[in-house]
Amino acid sequence: MTLTTDQTTSASPPTGAQAPTHQVALTFEDGVTRFVTCREDQTVADASYRQRINIPLDCRDGACGTCKAFCESGAYDGGTYIDDALSAAESADGYALPCCMKPQSDLVLQIAATSDTAKTAAGDFTGTIVSLERLSESTMRVGIEIGNRGDLAFLPGQYVNIAVPVTEALDADGNGTGQPLRRSYSFANGPHEERLIFMVKLTPGGAMSDYLTDRAQRGDEITFTGPHGSFFLREATRPVLLLAGGTGLAPILSMLRKMHDDNSARKVHLIYGVSTDTDLVALDEIEYFARELSGFTWDHCVSDPNSSAVNKGYVMTLIRPEHLYDGDVAIYLCGPPPMVESVRAHVADAGIEPVGFYYEKFALAVPAAAKESISIDGSDDSAVQNISSIAVAVDEDPVIPARDARGIAGQQVLAPRDIGSHVQHAAPLVDDGAIARIAGQQVWTAHGAGVALDPDGGDLLAASDARGIAGQTVFAEAETATATVAETEPVVETVPTVTEQGYEIGEEHPGIHESDALFEARAALELGALELTLGRMTSRQLAGYRLLAEATLPYVKGDSFVDAAEYTETNAAFHDYLFGLTGNDHLLAAYQALGVKGRMGEVLRNATWCHPLCAQDHIDIVEAFASGNRDRARGLISAHAERSKQTMRRAMADEMASRRPRFITPGRFAGKVVIVTGAAQGIGAHTARRIVAEGGRVVCADRSEFVNEIVSDVTDLGGQAVKSIADLETYDGAASVVATAIETYGRVDVLINNVGGAINFKPFVEFTDEQIRAEIDRSLMTTLYACRAVLPSMVAHGSGVIVNVSSAATRGIHRIPYSAAKGGINAITASLAMEYADNGIRVVATAPGGTEAPPRRVSRGTPTPQSETQQQWFDAHIEQTVSSSLLKRYGTLDEQAAAICFLASDEASYITGSVLPVAGGDQG
Ligand code: FES
């Protein structure tokens, strides 16, 4: 029997993940209802904030009454509070304080606020045009000033959505919406500068272009929302390579202005590419930075063959090895999709994995005039040639006003209804989800130019192809706030992030899930979020932030995790919150897309050590925000990232150490072929590792794909092992495992029947016939079938060893069917030994007692206790197990594997038919 540490061993009310949960419906004044799952040991406010629903909150302690809510239905423990916060009469009338109340059933609460309070939003601003400069025939620079400039904090690289004056957006049927057309433009000024500067690519027929060229006057009123986007300059000292295509120069200029303001000595190289000489703008400004910034160099190119520029061609042709610093470089790239993809390919071809690859793509409009001369389906010439052709065409394109088009960095998006005439070169539309449709705009698929655009202008859809836009996952607008990547999946190198209507932002880091880069990326984002929020949080927001910080404290004591899983959960909620407060869904999504929580969940699942300041950092960070101490907050965020890295490194090192068998007899299994069933975890995994370490060739059999990790681990160290995924509760499954062994290694010398394990823990009279059958199938039939499957080949060879893993639970309580199954194992052992001794086959067994093992990764299907009685049944079997051991402790995986390996080896050649108890003196 193996007892795992994922069950509580106390009879006290279950807490943490074991605590019963209830659904709490939060009904806001505007009719919106949000649901949260709340454990019985959690306050409603705590659960709400962790699930990113920010209900009104102030003291968080039952003192102020801010959170007061009417409970329509359900039972709860109201907690402790003072009369001033909630009077006895109010309590009698059904009011409660979510910061104190804990549910005892499902609840419906009326929250005295609108749902707007649960989510921040980007700000609306009104300003005045103060300058209009025609930088070239094709580019306009617009200066805007707003009265409340102090309220607009943005990061260098971000953008706003500007309403084009005197225009009206149309709906899908071509009817007026009453709303102005909006275009997106990146700031070209630095965050510290009073005047807002935008660069606009002038395209005949474009809404903004027509306004600026025909009607705009200094003094015109302009409205916009923002800031938006997660493309911004991260703070770091490593070198930077900036790449700007066309008016993609705007956000790059903003970054340079910020570096100039910081008097940065950072190594920076800019490559600026345009289509024609007339598109070259702001060269004097770039020259200025070349003089002022000591580490700054730059170059530019024009793709037009008739250009007078020194460099004719595309930006990637100007990327030199010295710009890439062998990968220790952050690349920031703003341009059309083909340019981004070309640079990505160019860098990859150079064998470089940059530490950071941040990009913003603006969507393309394929020109009617150019469609004859260029191919977008990749059917001719090289991909780069096609890509380059498109890049040329984009800037020359007469942009067609789109219903909800966007012009990131001056580039506008084609209206869906106008796309039909451009699709004849494109691949047929297959509605397989690979094409993302964003606000009626469709965008490029990862496989480059082979795309057709659907003119239906349909609703927002979530793209099913995460690589659909060069690795960016696209979420429907309504889902943006909560969109995440699958948090339990390993992080992949290309980090998906949220995109918005018609353009994509992303960041990539090499081998991020294996490296510290994950936490560096988080800290870089947090430092950006800090700039947007410090000194701007309301007292309620700070209260929420503090609540989430405090929620992490119970799960770390000193330098030990009390509960690593709960720490991971609460830590994620804390970090999420700051990004949520920026009002910028992109930042939150960019953080979530890093997959920090998923990675921490994986690495820390068995961790015991935590940097002692990790949880305290959260409290200190909140206090630094509350006091407006920027330097302290910045220092703490960076230090916290370091401490998180240390915690992860230590957990990974401990995990590696725990996988190594403590005892090894070198060469004992040299040349032997050994099948281990149930090899994905616990005793099976540990035994497989030891046998490989002793020279054996192992077939690791399990129903779970987790067995792959065991095989990878041992083969990475030079051992020999293969997996066999099979359902051993069937004879076919058992036969397939034996077949794998024979096909791979030619024979089977040893079969270790480890698979099994009790499912239910309760008095026998509580078992159903179905549950009895399941226990027998799991713990008896698996061994019976595997023995039947392997014996013919052993008989044929005239030798073999079968080691069955029985249990001391043949004498125990609250798992009688399992006890019976293991009794059957003992019978199989004795009888098969007798029957096949003449064939040179030994059959033996071990009978483990309680054994310490990491939390199970493959569930046995044991139901979570739903009542105190059920918990007591479970606890009783543990108490009986421990008390039956003379040594009064559990065994270890090493102790169990040692006995199995001894019996399986030639050292035990005179032992057969025996069952060896390995249970601290419990004879079973
Ligand atoms: S009583 Fe103050 S927040 Fe609940």
Asked whether the predicted pLDDT for residue 600 surpasses 70, the reply is yes
Among 78-87, 365-374, 586-595, name the most confident range: 78-87
Same domain, 569 and 710: no
Asked whether the predicted pLDDT for residue 700 surpasses 50, the reply is yes
Q: How far is the CA of 78 from the centre of ligand 1 (A)?
A: 12
Number of the ligand 1 atom closest to the C-alpha atom of 98:
4
417-433 average pLDDT score: 29
Same domain, 904 and 811: yes
Element (H, E) at 392: helix 383-396
Number of the ligand 1 atom closest to the C-alpha atom of 62:
1
Joined together, the tokens standing for residue 904 give 């399986």
81-110 average pLDDT score: 93
For residue 561, being part of any structural domain is answered with: yes
Average pLDDT over the chain, rounded to whole? 81
Largest distance between two CA atoms of the chain = 104
For residue 88, being part of any structural domain is answered with: yes
Asked whether the predicted pLDDT for residue 485 surpasses 50, the reply is no
Number of the ligand 1 atom closest to the C-alpha atom of 99:
4
Q: What are the DSSP E strand ranges found in 164-250?
A: 182-186, 196-201, 221-228, 240-245
pLDDT of residue 859: 75
Q: How far is the CA of 579 from the centre of ligand 1 (A)?
A: 24
What is the pLDDT confidence band of residue 508, given thresholds at 50, 70 and 90? low
For residue 296, being part of any structural domain is answered with: no
Q: How far is the CA of 614 from the centre of ligand 1 (A)?
A: 27
A 10 A CB-CB count for 265 gives 12
Number of the ligand 1 atom closest to the C-alpha atom of 86:
1
pLDDT of residue 178: 82
For residue 366, being part of any structural domain is answered with: no
Q: How far is the CA of 52 from the centre of ligand 1 (A)?
A: 18
For residue 751, being part of any structural domain is answered with: yes
pLDDT of residue 296: 97
Q: How far is the CA of 613 from the centre of ligand 1 (A)?
A: 28
**Ligand 1, pocket-test mutation among 59, 109, 547, most atoms within 8 A of CB:** 59
Number of the ligand 1 atom closest to the C-alpha atom of 57:
3
pLDDT of residue 173: 79
pLDDT of residue 460: 25
Q: How far is the CA of 438 from the centre of ligand 1 (A)?
A: 41
Number of the ligand 1 atom closest to the C-alpha atom of 56:
3
Point out which residues pair with 353 in neighbouring strands.
none
Q: Which residues line ligand 1 (CB under 6 A)?
A: 57-60, 62-67, 85, 97, 99
**Ligand 1, pocket-test mutation among 91, 95, 99, 545, most atoms within 8 A of CB:** 99
Selected residue with higher pLDDT from 409 and 130: 130
Asked whether the predicted pLDDT for residue 498 surpasses 60, the reply is no
Alpha-carbon distances of 584 from 116, 120, 214, 511, 589, rounded to whole Å: 15, 8, 33, 27, 9
356-377 average pLDDT score: 49
What is the pLDDT confidence band of residue 259, given thresholds at 50, 70 and 90? very high
For residue 709, being part of any structural domain is answered with: yes
Instruction: Give the count of domains, the chain.
Output: 3
Number of the ligand 1 atom closest to the C-alpha atom of 59:
2
Q: Are 435 and 399 in contact (CB under 8 A)?
A: no
pLDDT of residue 510: 55
pLDDT of residue 288: 96
Asked whether the predicted pLDDT for residue 727 surpasses 80, the reply is yes
Report the range of poorest mean pLDDT among 18-32, 286-300, 471-485: 471-485
Nearest of 489, 511, 517 to residue 597 by alpha carbon:
489
Q: How far is the CA of 578 from the centre of ligand 1 (A)?
A: 21
Distance (Å, rounded) from C-alpha 463 to C-alpha 499? 11
Same domain, 718 and 863: yes
pLDDT of residue 869: 93
573-592 average pLDDT score: 86
Q: How far is the CA of 622 from the centre of ligand 1 (A)?
A: 18
Q: Which of 118, 151, 177 is the last residue of a domain?
A: 118
pLDDT of residue 179: 84
What is the pLDDT confidence band of residue 169, given thresholds at 50, 70 and 90? confident
**Ligand 1, pocket-test mutation among 43, 57, 86, most atoms within 8 A of CB:** 57
Q: How far is the CA of 591 from the centre of ligand 1 (A)?
A: 30
Number of the ligand 1 atom closest to the C-alpha atom of 85:
1
Same domain, 686 and 835: yes
Number of the ligand 1 atom closest to the C-alpha atom of 67:
4
For residues 175-203, b (16+ Cβ closer than 10 Å) or e, as one string?
A: eeeeebbbbbbbbbbbbeeeebbbbbbbb
Selected residue with higher pLDDT from 345 and 465: 345
pLDDT of residue 363: 56
Q: Are 195 and 130 in contact (CB under 8 A)?
A: yes
Same domain, 672 and 619: no
Same domain, 652 and 687: no
Same domain, 593 and 561: yes
205-218 average pLDDT score: 91
Same domain, 600 and 743: no
Secondary structure of 596-648 in the HEC alphabet?
Answer: HHHHHHHHCCCCCECCCCHHHHHHHHHHHHHHCCHHHHHHHHHHHHHHHHHHH
Q: How far is the CA of 82 from the centre of ligand 1 (A)?
A: 10
CATH number reported for the structural domain that contains residue 23 in this entry: 3.10.20.30
Same domain, 36 and 59: yes
**Ligand 1, pocket-test mutation among 61, 542, 547, most atoms within 8 A of CB:** 61
Q: How far is the CA of 96 from the centre of ligand 1 (A)?
A: 10
Element (H, E) at 33: strand 33-39
**Ligand 1, pocket-test mutation among 49, 66, 80, most atoms within 8 A of CB:** 66
Task: Look at residue 248 and give its three-state secondary structure.
Answer: helix
Residue whose token pair is 């109201």: 78
Report the range of poorest mean pLDDT among 233-247, 685-699, 846-860: 846-860
Q: How far is the CA of 911 from the centre of ligand 1 (A)?
A: 70
What is the pLDDT confidence band of residue 118, given thresholds at 50, 70 and 90? very low
Number of the ligand 1 atom closest to the C-alpha atom of 81:
1
pLDDT of residue 471: 26
Asked whether the predicted pLDDT for residue 381 surpasses 80, the reply is no
Same domain, 609 and 689: no
Q: How far is the CA of 225 from the centre of ligand 1 (A)?
A: 33
pLDDT of residue 116: 61
How do residues 531-581 score in pLDDT, each as one tens digit?
A: 989 988 888 899 999 999 999 999 999 999 999 999 999 999 999 999 988
**Ligand 1, pocket-test mutation among 49, 58, 548, most atoms within 8 A of CB:** 58
CATH number reported for the structural domain that contains residue 669 in this entry: 3.40.50.720
DSSP-assigned letter for residue 681: S
Number of the ligand 1 atom closest to the C-alpha atom of 58:
3
What is the pLDDT confidence band of residue 356, given thresholds at 50, 70 and 90? confident
Asked whether the predicted pLDDT for residue 694 surpasses 50, the reply is yes
pLDDT of residue 452: 27
pLDDT of residue 88: 92
Return the percentage of the chain with pLDDT > 70, whole number: 80
Which residues, in sequence order, are CB contacts of 11 under 8 Å at separation 6+? 868, 871, 872, 875
Q: Are 154 and 161 in contact (CB under 8 A)?
A: no
What is the pLDDT confidence band of residue 590, given thresholds at 50, 70 and 90? confident
Q: Which of 622, 638, 657 is the last residue of a domain?
A: 657
pLDDT of residue 507: 65
Reported as half-sphere exposure (CB side, CA atoms, 13 A), residue 879 has a value of 9
For residue 446, being part of any structural domain is answered with: no
Same domain, 770 and 787: yes
How do residues 815-853 score in pLDDT, each as one tens digit?
A: 999 999 999 999 999 999 999 999 999 999 999 999 988
Asked whether the predicted pLDDT for residue 1 surpasses 80, the reply is no
Number of the ligand 1 atom closest to the C-alpha atom of 100:
4
Q: How far is the CA of 77 from the centre of ligand 1 (A)?
A: 15
694-712 average pLDDT score: 95
**Ligand 1, pocket-test mutation among 49, 64, 546, most atoms within 8 A of CB:** 64
What is the pLDDT confidence band of residue 12, given thresholds at 50, 70 and 90? low
pLDDT of residue 505: 63
Range of the domain at 70: 16-118
436-453 average pLDDT score: 27
- End-to-end CA, the chain: 11
Among 146-155, 517-526, 549-558, name the most confident range: 549-558
For residue 36, being part of any structural domain is answered with: yes
Same domain, 650 and 685: no
Return the percentage of the chain with pLDDT > 90, whole number: 57
Q: Which of 60, 92, 118 is the last residue of a domain?
A: 118
What is the pLDDT confidence band of residue 25, given thresholds at 50, 70 and 90? confident
Q: How far is the CA of 483 from the centre of ligand 1 (A)?
A: 30
How do residues 289-323 score in pLDDT, each as one tens digit?
A: 999 999 999 999 999 999 999 999 999 999 999 99
Which residues, in sequence order, are CB contacts of 285 under 8 Å at separation 6+? 253
What is the pLDDT confidence band of residue 504, given thresholds at 50, 70 and 90? low
